[in-house]
């Protein structure tokens, strides 16, 4: 007696087995990693800033959106292809090289919250961005010193706002840049948009006045201010942060001459290696809350 078997009948079973195996692979290799690791990718988007952050629980933040749609293209390479939402967008500075790409991001992803410094830009790009945020019905948060933007409450992953400490509408877009520290366990990264040396020193004075020391400024990684311009990266500030590495986001052969010689000399003086997106492309670090690994 021949067995009752046919390719037609076996096909659904084979598909079911493949699906089960696929789920097992994703559950066994990807989900456990998300249970304890924080991913931070400094995107290669030319002359501008865009940093993608994914917390252990899967919540995501995009700090700055770069100048144009290149940010969206790079974002799709670091995010799961099936994911069409972002939990938080952070605008450190409303200049085009920080917000231009947000417009396409808002068209392609559902966004829950948008954090802004409170400075105002008169550009058409800024006007369109604000319209898109309103259409998205995303919650708008004006950054203030002491706020904590929590990504993973269970594991304590949060972005702590250090500046602005007041209404900054009257300040220039650079002077009013958000300065904030991402914290996960014993690991941290300092972000500061285009904040100039004056504001770096001001944040140091606030820390000294309020806490009596600069210990909270200590950070493992520094996202270099203003794309490596000499106007940022005050030597005393960099020493206070004492990072083991710094990352600068900039375009190759950019017309501003970034990173400037003075900035390169500052990091050379303190012995901190400088990683550049124009030379290395996307720069990704992963933290387990104890230390960082370069991916």
Q: Which helix (H) or strand (E) holds 75?
A: helix 70-78
Instruction: Find how far residue 178's CA is from the centre of its chain.
Output: 12
| Beta-ladder partners of 157 | 152
Strand 85-90's sheet: what is its strand order?
139-142, 110-116, 85-90, 60-63, 51-54, 38-42, 283-287, 292-294
Residues in the chain: 295
β-pairing verdict for 221-223 and 187-191: parallel
The angle at the Cα of 248, spanning 245 to 249, to the nearest 5 degrees, equals 145
Contacts of 48 (CB under 8 A, 6+ apart): 64, 66, 67, 71, 96, 97, 98, 100, 101, 227, 249, 251
Phi, psi of 200 (to 5 degrees): -60, -45
DSSP output for 150-176: EEETTTTEEEEEEE--S--TTS-TTTT
Determine contact, residues 103/125, Cβ cutoff 8 Å.
yes
The answer to whether 151 and 59 are in contact (CB under 8 A) is: yes
For 6, half-sphere exposure in the C-beta direction (CA atoms, 13 angstrom radius) is: 2
pLDDT in tens, the chain (295 residues): 444 545 455 555 555 545 544 544 443 344 344 568 999 999 999 999 999 999 999 999 999 999 999 999 999 999 988 999 999 999 999 999 999 999 999 999 999 999 999 999 999 999 999 999 999 999 999 999 999 999 999 999 999 999 999 999 999 999 999 999 999 999 999 999 999 999 999 999 999 999 999 999 999 999 999 999 999 999 999 999 999 999 999 999 999 999 999 999 999 999 999 999 999 999 999 999 999 999 9
């Amino acid at each position: 007696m021949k067995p009752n078997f046919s390719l037609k009948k076996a096909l659904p079973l084979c598909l079911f087995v493949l699906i089960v195996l696929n789920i097992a692979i994703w559950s066994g290799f990807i989900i456990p990693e998300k249970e304890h690791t924080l991913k931070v990718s400094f995107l290669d988007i030319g002359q501008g800033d865009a940093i993608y952050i994914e917390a252990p629980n899967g919540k995501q933040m995009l700090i700055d959106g770069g100048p144009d749609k290149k940010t969206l293209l790079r974002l799709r390479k670091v995010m799961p292809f099936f994911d069409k939402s972002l939990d938080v967008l952070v605008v450190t500075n409303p200049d085009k090289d920080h917000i231009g790409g947000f417009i396409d991001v808002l068209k392609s992803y559902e966004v829950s919250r948008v954090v802004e410094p409170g400075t105002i830009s008169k550009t058409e790009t800024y006007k369109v961005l604000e319209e898109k945020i309103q259409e998205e019905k995303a919650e708008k948060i004006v950054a203030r010193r002491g706020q904590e933007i929590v990504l993973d409450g269970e594991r304590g992953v949060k972005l702590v706002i250090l500046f602005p400490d007041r209404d900054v509408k009257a300040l220039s877009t650079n002077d009013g840049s958000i300065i904030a520290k991402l914290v996960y366990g014993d690991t941290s990264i300092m972000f500061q948009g285009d904040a100039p040396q004056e504001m770096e020193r001001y944040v140091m004075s606030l820390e000294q006045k309020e806490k009596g020391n600069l210990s909270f400024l200590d950070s493992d990684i520094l996202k270099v201010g203003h794309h490596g311009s000499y106007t940022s990266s005050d030597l005393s500030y960099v020493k206070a942060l004492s990072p083991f590495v710094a990352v600068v986001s900039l375009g190759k052969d950019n017309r501003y001459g970034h990173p400037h010689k003075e900035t390169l000399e500052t990091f050379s003086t303190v012995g901190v290696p400088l990683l550049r997106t124009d030379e290395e492309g996307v720069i990704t670090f992963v933290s387990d809350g104890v230390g960082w690994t370069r991916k």
